[in-house]
Amino acid sequence: MPASVQIYACGKDLQSKAVARRSFFRCSTVQLSWNSGSTGLLVVVQSDVDKTNQSYYGESKLNYLTIDGTHEGLVPLRKDGPIHDVQWSYSGKEFAVVYGFMPAMATVFDKKCNPLLELGTGPYNTIKWNPLGNFICLAGFGNLPGDMVCISR
């Protein structure tokens, strides 16, 4: 039986029908991240087993759902591999993702999953926005070299 994420409206008479839903196969865990306006939900789906045998750590996919139902699907990433980090900007109008086998790629997307800015590749597994949204920091921690790059927009 597949796992699923469903979004329901919280109005008195609106709770019986999901406004958005997405099903996932081979799902062990999920991470949910709402934007600041609560109109978009990023869902990182993690599986403990990688059926392609490309990774010892399993596989992950990034999905995006909106409360108006205009988007219910995968975020179009340009590189295969794990989702290392995903963060909404403080405005809630865009999000950034670090993904793929090393060297990882980083991309900023708008609320319609259109790529806005390619941040390049490197030994990164962490991405953070500053509160004004005009700087993005890419960093590599853990078993990575510890590089940090701050990018001005």
Structure confidence at residue 95 (pLDDT): 95
User: Which tokens is 128 given?
Assistant: 């953070």
Q: Domain of 132: which CATH number? A: 2.120.10.30
Q: Are strands 135-139 and 18-24 parallel, antiparallel or unpaired?
A: unpaired
Q: Which two tokens stand for residue 135?
A: 């700087």
Tokens representing 59 are: 């596989």
Q: What is the pLDDT of residues 70-92, one digit of tens each?
A: 888 889 999 988 999 999 999 99
Structural domain of 19: 3-152
* 109 or 46, higher pLDDT: 109
pLDDT of residue 42: 95
Average pLDDT of the chain, as a whole number: 85
Calpha distance 85→100 (Å, rounded): 10
35: pLDDT confidence band, cut at 50, 70 and 90?
Answer: very high
Counting the structural domains of the chain, the total is 1
Flag whether pLDDT at 27 surpasses 70.
no
Q: Give the pLDDT band (50/70/90) at residue 98.
A: very high
